[in-house]
């Protein structure tokens, strides 16, 4: 996925949900072993569901962890001029500052735990080791491209999203952490367009359900994927 992990960063700021779905589509075309099983978290979960709705014959089963699109309460449709201005100003702000660096692995791990307080020390260290690059001076920076942070000024509205999710033909499993900052996707209606889904509500888990409660996630996911 462009701008994430070990994937290359895009030149400038061409990051939007459409480009991310394109990345997944290109990868799966190279693998060429359809139908596939897809598992995604957060943004990756949204990408998983969108791809499943666009190419329903290519996906056998899909799992989305905390990823059914932004909550309805966050979807304020500002005028196009306002959205474009806000995006431009955000990008220009990123251009004028260097990526934040951390003087040691311990400080980067502390930041990881601050942002994700449910993580154990071992998991936080593991994610930090794989999610950072070392600078020549011994400091660390996140692999994530800051240009991917601002929401693109264009994208799918509620009707578009509902139409695509309504095209999903395979069984879907949704995971929601009961201590997440995001609301229950069933209660707020975000999952309503998916025809065949099951929602797993996971206690004592935040946004990173698969890290916070790996035991529950593996049990539910493996049973779902192995079933007919």
Round to whole Å and give the CA distance between 146 and 21: 19
Label residue 76 by pLDDT band (50, 70, 90).
low
> Residue 159: is its pLDDT beyond 90?
no
Q: What's 117-180 look like in SS3?
A: CCCCHHHHHHHHHHHEEECCCCCEEECCCHHHCCCCCCCCCHHHHHHHHCCCCCCEEEEEECCC
Q: What is the pTM of this model?
A: 0.91
Label residue 212 by pLDDT band (50, 70, 90).
very high
> Residue 203: is its pLDDT beyond 80?
yes
Q: Mean pLDDT over residues 94-117, rounded?
A: 93
- Give the residue from 25, 30, 3 showing the smallest Cα distance to 14: 3
| CATH code 3.40.50.1820 for 34-75+157-228 | yes
Q: Mean pLDDT over residues 94-119, rounded?
A: 92
Label residue 98 by pLDDT band (50, 70, 90).
confident
Round to whole Å and give the CA distance between 76 and 87: 15
Tokens (6 digits) for 198: 């099951």
As a whole number, the mean pLDDT across the chain is 92
């Amino acid at each position: 996925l462009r701008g994430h992990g070990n994937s290359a960063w895009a030149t400038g700021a061409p990051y939007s949900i459409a480009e991310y779905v394109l990345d997944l589509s290109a990868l799966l075309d190279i693998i060429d072993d359809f139908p596939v099983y897809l598992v995604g978290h957060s943004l990756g979960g949204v990408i998983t569901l969108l791809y499943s709705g666009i190419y329903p014959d290519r996906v056998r089963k899909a799992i989305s962890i905390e990823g059914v699109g932004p909550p309805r309460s966050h979807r304020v449709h500002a005028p196009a001029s306002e959205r474009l201005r806000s995006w431009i100003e955000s990008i220009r702000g990123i251009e004028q500052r260097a990526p934040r660096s951390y003087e040691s692995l311990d400080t980067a791990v502390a930041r990881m735990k601050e942002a994700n307080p449910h993580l154990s020390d071992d998991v936080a260290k593991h994610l930090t080791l794989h999610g950072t690059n070392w600078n020549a001076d011994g400091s660390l920076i996140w692999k994530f491209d800051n240009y991917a942070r601002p929401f693109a000024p264009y994208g799918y509205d509620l009707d578009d999203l509902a139409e695509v999710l309504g095209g999903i033909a395979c069984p879907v499993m949704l995971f929601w952490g009961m201590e997440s900052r995001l609301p229950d996707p069933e209660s707020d209606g975000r999952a309503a367009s998916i025809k065949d889904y099951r929602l797993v509500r996971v206690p004592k888990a935040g946004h990173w359900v698969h890290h916070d409660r790996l035991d529950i996630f593996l049990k539910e996911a493996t049973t779902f994927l192995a079933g007919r």
